[in-house]
Amino acid sequence: MDWASIFIYDTTWAFAAEILIRVIVMFVLIISFLRFTGKRGVRQLSIFELTIILSLGSIAGDPMFTKELPIIQAVIIMSTVILLYRLCTWGMMKYQPFEDLLEGKSLYIVEDGMLVYDKIVEGKMSHDEFFAEMRQQGVEHLGQVRTGLLETDGNFSLLLYPPDDTSYGLPLFPKQYQAVEQVESGTYYACMYCGYLDFISDANQQCGRCEDNCRNWAKALNTKLVR
Ligand SMILES: [Zn+2]
């Protein structure tokens, strides 16, 4: 067994420096790519934490069975990633804009029982995803929700109205989230696109808030939260 080959193999100073540059470039690439997908983190991990895990992912295992991959190279890579991690964490604590750049901002998705309109337009949210999130937290319709915030780690935080302040709102469960064909007078209907409430007179009426985006209305609910 040749110890020098396990630890050093053909590593030169020049190649060590090259590894350093490669790691930094890849780190920036991974984080940019993840940010550009527009996705939030997954399962309690922010984009930044995900980048660390992806960066360390293959380097931990490969040197265990790859002859051409000496331990020293893995050590250089891991140290660089950890250094970048420390540097970014420090930067994020010091400068808010840097944190927003790496992790994104938390976004208001629901305000006062309605979906925040420009967030839908920007494509920052899909109805399915956020309806599912709210349903899982026991919410039946938007009239129960005062504020819904999408966190940078992809979690959804909700502030709910107390039962007495619950108003009419867009239903979130599939059976009630259905476009009506016949309109009853004196009944609240909710725009299926943005959650805007109206007494409509025609099932194909334009929404007063999102205008041309929606001509579908669901019968609004005002059931109160039971906790
Ligand atoms: Zn609307």
Amino acid at 70: P
Q: Report the alpha-carbon distance of residue 202 to residue 183 in Å, rounded.
A: 6
Residue 118 has pLDDT above 80, yes or no: no
Q: Report the alpha-carbon distance of residue 214 to residue 203 in Å, rounded.
A: 11
List residues bridging with 31 in a β-sheet.
none
Rounded percentage of the chain residues whose pLDDT exceeds 70: 94
Instruction: Determine the number of helices (DSSP H) and then strands (DSSP E) in the chain.
Output: 7, 7
- Å from CA of 210 to ligand 1 middle: 4
Residue 197 vs residue 127, higher pLDDT = 197
Q: Where do the domains of the chain lie?
A: 3-103, 107-219
Given this model, what pLDDT does residue 44 score?
74
CATH superfamily of 107-219: bsu07140 like domains (3.30.240.20)
Residue 27 has pLDDT above 90, yes or no: yes
Given this model, what pLDDT does residue 121 score?
62
Of the candidates 210, 208, 220, 225, the residue with the CA atom closest to the CA atom of residue 145: 225
- Å from CA of 190 to ligand 1 middle: 8
- Å from CA of 40 to ligand 1 middle: 25
Convert the pLDDT of each residue in 124-162 to its tens digit.
667 888 899 899 999 999 999 999 998 888 788 999 999
Chain mean pLDDT for the chain: 89
